[in-house]
Structure 1
Amino acid sequence: MDRRTVLRATVAGGAAAFAGSLWSGAASAAPAQPGVGPYGPLGAADANGIQLPAGFASRVIARSRQVVPGTSYAWHDAPDGGACFTAGTGWIYVSNSEISTTGGASAVRFRADGTIASAYRILSNTNRNCAGGATPWGTWLSCEEVSRGYVYETYPQGGTAAVRRAAMGRFNHEAAAADPDRKVIYLTEDESNGCFYRFRPTVWGDLSSGTLEVLVAGTATSGPVSWARVPDPDGYPTSTRQQVSGAKRFNGGEGCWYADGTCWFTTKGDNRVWAYDAVAQRIDLAYDDSLVTGGTAPLTGVDNITGSTRGDLYVAEDGGNMEINMITPEGVVTPFLRINGQSSSEICGPAFSPDGSRFYFSSQRGTSGSSSGGITYEVRGPFR
């Protein structure tokens, strides 16, 4: 990705792009191992029950069924996948709602100083909106985590109705990641025998039509791969994952993040972080908890994933010990934060503000363990 493309993607989509050569050759190296991170150990829990490295601080942005501070809008239940987008001199954080039949997505708009300007609904009456992904043209792809679920293209700025993008396939959608270099959207599938897909729009920037493809490879965890067209993206009567012979199986596809020629995606069933090298067209393991040597694996319950401008991956846990772990370009995996007293929840929606100075995430069920107890947080500190 050239520098102009990096800047364009960052400004338009609000997604922090990786620094050019930081991961060069790392995707095909040995999976990450525990070590000391760039920010040092976690400190004692703060008033919000969050342990952070020295110099970092958290605040609560919103709570499910409560009015977002400074607005008249009540935050949705079960906050899940999220992303940030540039909005004038400020920015917007969007968040899905993983609720059956009425899920959808909401947004919080921030002023340049970080105060909340407004909050509002951008998608309504859809089904178990789990994760998704930002596009370079500034929309949010909200994905339904149900059999033959849809992808909805939503508009974080508000004022424009969301659009169902049926051409992107009907399956148990999880996350999406845009690759502006190859002009495709990568998609994960939350099934124990799920697949990894890419959607090639007929016209880049218009998701109304295109070709859905599935990754084809052997059973090895690394090596070259290819892509094959899915004959019937509608997935009925034969599901999309069963239509192509040789489609590679992944155990519970979750988060998805693209930067600098690599799409990183996670699988919860085997606690892995995968790296698809789109230039060389091969896959490798960036992390596998079963391959950790010399101690206990710090990252389990692998789920949502995002990246920073420095090239660090941030991977949230569904379960585990409620941490967000970093995986550095040097191949070190280390805790960045831990939430205490919320063991019946999961961490969702990690995302950086467009300038990389603030970090957002949610605890889907909070301290109550119920979808009505979700909490959305912001962290500030000396991010590298």
Structure 2
Amino acid sequence: MERRNFLRSSVLGAGALAFSGSLWQQAASAAPAQLAPGPYGALLAADANGIQLPAGFTSQVVARSGQTVPGTSYTWHSAPDGGACFADGTGWIYVSNAETSSGSGGGASMIRFDSAGTPTAASRILSGTNSNCAGGKTPWNTWLSCEETSTGRVWETYPFGGTAVARPAMGRFKHEAAAADPVRQVIYLTEDESNGCLYRFVLTTWGNLASGTLQVLKAGTATSGSFTWANVPDPDGSPTATRSQVSGAKRFNGGEGCHYADNTLWFTTKGDNRVWQLNLAANTYELAYDDGLVSPGPAPLTGVDNITGATSGDLYVAEDGGNMEICMITPDDKISVFLRISGQSSSEITGPAFSPAGNRLYFSSQRGTSGSSTGGITYCVTGPFRT
């Protein structure tokens, strides 16, 4: 049974419709994704940038850490990580985190592109923060940059101009990624701990992150079932960590990327190489992918990390390590390799995000060919992505 094929006409991240319980249950009863040929065909030999792609797709280098972004006077940050795209008139903006310390340029930067995809400006939008790993885009066009430290904060940044603001009501913990749900008017948050939790922040006023209620997901120990939410008594996480405050909170092994679309949240856990799926209309959860359940193997996706989606309903999951691949999970629960970066085995793929038109996929190799945070490379792949 296909999980997402009836949702393809919706634009991901926009105000999604709420579906009836019976329809949602019918769409959410599939087994974890299985290996199959990709919809774009086999990968070709590596191109000049060391990237293997299907026929019809091309890659280009957008920026390199420590070097000036072409067409601008801005030096690109080290260790590029989570990212997102924002429509900007006829062009767009790509935002990228810097997963380094405050003394080494931690924070986030942006690149502005014209309608042809040519960089026209770049600048810093957040400085002086630590280990900004992933984050998430809001419907009001701000970027939530999340600190991956034990007392990490969520910073709301303004790609179109404005001073970044810490949002302590969203909790102090080892933040990873964030995803906005305009239907329930909440922000989902992952936690990068081996016994971490999944949270949601219920805004007092939608569009204003200054106040709200932090909640944690409660469920059994199985890989599928029903769930509820419970308030976290002390979002500050001191002296008791947020993940240890609520009895029955479900544990997830190393929460990484998360993505919301059409009454569904997908998020990844690196410790067990899984992609989880929350069916929010039915309050149930299940596995969308598990490398131990791919039969016949071998499993194509290991080191699961950042995740994003296309308007087609296809999910794109980046690897931290593995074979340096971005894998694709289709709405009919098939998984395949979309691209592979060669010669960069000491790096990880970060920040996948589609341009507003859906024909360009931006991402970074955090440590590039050097294996150092100062060797990061940010790429763009252009081609006939499914819509």
Instruction: State the partner residue of 1:352.
Output: 354
Instruction: State the partner residue of 2:155.
Output: 152
Contact 2:303-2:322 within 8 A present in 1 as well: yes
Are 2:327 and 1:337 aligned?
A: no
CA offset at residue 42 of structure 1?
A: 0.5
Amino acid at match of 2:111: V
CA offset at residue 29 of structure 1?
A: 1.0
Instruction: State the partner residue of 1:309.
Output: 311
Distance 1:27 1:68 in 2: 43
Instruction: State the partner residue of 2:381.
Output: 379
Instruction: State the partner residue of 1:106.
Output: 109
CA offset at residue 197 of structure 1?
A: 0.2
Amino acid at match of 2:75: A
CA offset at residue 50 of structure 1?
A: 0.1
Query: Structure 1 stretches of 5 or more lacking a match?
Result: none
Q: Aligned to 2:136, what secondary structure does the other structure show?
A: strand
Instruction: State the partner residue of 1:132.
Output: 135
Distance 2:177 2:144 in 1: 8
Q: 2:223 aligns with which of 212, 218, 221?
A: 221
The number of residue pairs the alignment matches comes to 374
Q: Aligned to 2:374, what secondary structure does the other structure show?
A: helix
Alignment of 1:355-366 (within 5 A): 355-366=357-368
CA offset at residue 157 of structure 1?
A: 1.3
Deviations along 1:251-276, whole A, 9 cap, x unmatched? 00000000000000000000000001
Instruction: State the partner residue of 1:187.
Output: 189
Distance 1:334 1:8 in 2: 21
Distance 2:82 2:173 in 1: 17
Are 2:322 and 1:320 aligned?
A: yes
Distance 2:67 2:26 in 1: 47
* Residues 87/225 of structure 1: CA separation in 2 closer, same or farther (3 Å cut): same
Distance 1:250 1:52 in 2: 32
Instruction: State the partner residue of 1:171.
Output: 173
Amino acid at match of 2:132: N
Contact 1:27-1:286 within 8 A present in 2 as well: no
Q: 2:146 aligns with which of 117, 133, 143?
A: 143
Distance 1:283 1:242 in 2: 21
Contact 1:27-1:285 within 8 A present in 2 as well: no
Distance 1:8 1:259 in 2: 5
Q: C-alpha root-mean-square deviation of aligned residues, in Å? A: 1.9
Instruction: State the partner residue of 1:57.
Output: 58
* Residues 169/105 of structure 1: CA separation in 2 closer, same or farther (3 Å cut): same
Amino acid at match of 1:142: S
Amino acid at match of 1:85: F
CA offset at residue 27 of structure 1?
A: 3.8
CA offset at residue 23 of structure 1?
A: 8.9
Instruction: State the partner residue of 2:3.
Output: none
Q: Aligned to 2:235, what secondary structure does the other structure show?
A: coil
Instruction: State the partner residue of 1:281.
Output: 283
Contact 2:85-2:355 within 8 A present in 1 as well: yes
Instruction: State the partner residue of 2:248.
Output: 246
* Residues 23/69 of structure 1: CA separation in 2 closer, same or farther (3 Å cut): farther
Query: Structure 2 stretches of 5 or more lacking a match?
Result: 1-6
Distance 2:136 2:294 in 1: 29
